[in-house]
Amino acid sequence: MLVDEGKMDILFPEYFIESSAPSDAVLGKKRRELLVLSNKFYGRDLKGKIIGVVRGYQNTPEFDAMMDAKQFDIVEAVDELQLVKLLVTKRVDLIIGDPSIFTYSVNYSNLSNRNKQALLNSIEKIEPAIKYNHLYYAISNSYPNHHQLLDNINLALLEFKQSGKTNRFIEASSGCTLDF
C-alpha cells in the first residue's frame, strides 16, 4: 500500500503484477501505473497450501514471515513424527523440516516395524520443493529516480546471476526442506 501511494520506494518481494490489476491503495489507478517491476528472479509460491510445521520451531526467516502474515494455512504438530502422520493421512499438503529428521523420528518411534516402513514408503522428498514463482522488486513511480534505481537493481540481479551468486544464495537458503 505504501509503495502504491508513493510513501515508500521499494516493495520486496513482489509477485508479477498483471497490467489490469487495480490498486487497493489509490482508487481509479492500476498498480502498473504506480509501480515498475524489476527483472524476475527465483521465488516460491505457498498460497493455498496447508502446511505442517512443528509448533515453536523456527524455519527460515522468509518462511516464518510468510507464516506470520497468514499467506497459507498452518497445522502445528508437536514433533516430526506427528508431522509425517499428518502428511500421510492427507491432513496437510506439505511438511517443513529436514528429511533426515523425519526418517529418524519414524525409525526411533514406538511404532511397529511394519507401520514405520509404511510411513517411510508414503513420503518422499520433492525437488523442486514447491511450485516455482518468480519474485520482483516493485519500485514506486513516485520515487524521483525510479528509472535509475530500477536499472541498478536489474544490473545487480544480472551480475548475481552471471557470477553464480544467485544459485549459491538459493542453495544456501534451502535449509527449509519441503516434503510430501
Look at residue 43 in the predicted model and tell me its pLDDT: 59
Q: Which residues contact 83 (CB under 8 A, 6 or more apart)?
A: 52, 53, 54, 77, 92, 95, 97, 102
* 105, 146: one domain: no
Torsion region of 50: left, alpha or beta (phi above 0 gives left; psi -120 to 50 gives alpha) = beta
* 38, 54: one domain: no
d(CA 90, CA 93): 7
Taking each helix axis from N to C terminus, what angle separates 99-107 and 80-88, rounded to the nearest 10 degrees?
90
* 36, 54: one domain: no
Mean pLDDT of 28-42: 87
Among 43, 23, 47, 48, residue whose Cα is nearest residue 33: 23
Could you tell me if residue 175 is inside a domain? Answer: yes
The one-letter amino acid code at 19 reads S
* 23, 78: one domain: no
* 173, 152: one domain: yes
Can you point out the beta strands (E) in the chain?
Answer: 10-14, 35-37, 50-54, 73-77, 94-96, 136-140, 178-179
Q: Look at the alpha carbons of 74, 80, 86, 92 in this order and tell me if their dihedral is positive or negative.
A: positive
Could you tell me if residue 105 is inside a domain? Answer: yes
Residue 42 binned pLDDT confidence (cut-offs 50, 70, 90): low
d(CA 111, CA 121): 14
* 57, 99: one domain: yes
Question: pLDDT digits over 50-77, tens only?
Answer: 999 988 777 766 777 788 888 889 999 9
Q: Which domain holds residue 107?
A: 50-121
> Which domain CATH number covers 65?
3.40.190
Could you tell me if residue 127 is inside a domain? Answer: no
Could you tell me if residue 67 is inside a domain? Answer: yes
Q: Look at the alpha carbons of 54, 56, 59, 64 in this order and tell me if their dihedral is positive or negative.
A: positive
Residue with cell 499438503: 93
Please give the mean pLDDT across all residues of the chain: 82
* 57, 38: one domain: no
* 63, 26: one domain: no
Residue 30 is classified by DSSP as B
Could you tell me if residue 61 is inside a domain? Answer: yes
Of 100, 121, 142, the position where a domain reaches its end is 121
Question: pLDDT digits over 113-165, tens only?
Answer: 999 999 999 887 765 544 345 677 889 999 999 999 999 999 998 998 888 87
Could you tell me if residue 126 is inside a domain? Answer: no
d(CA 137, CA 10): 7
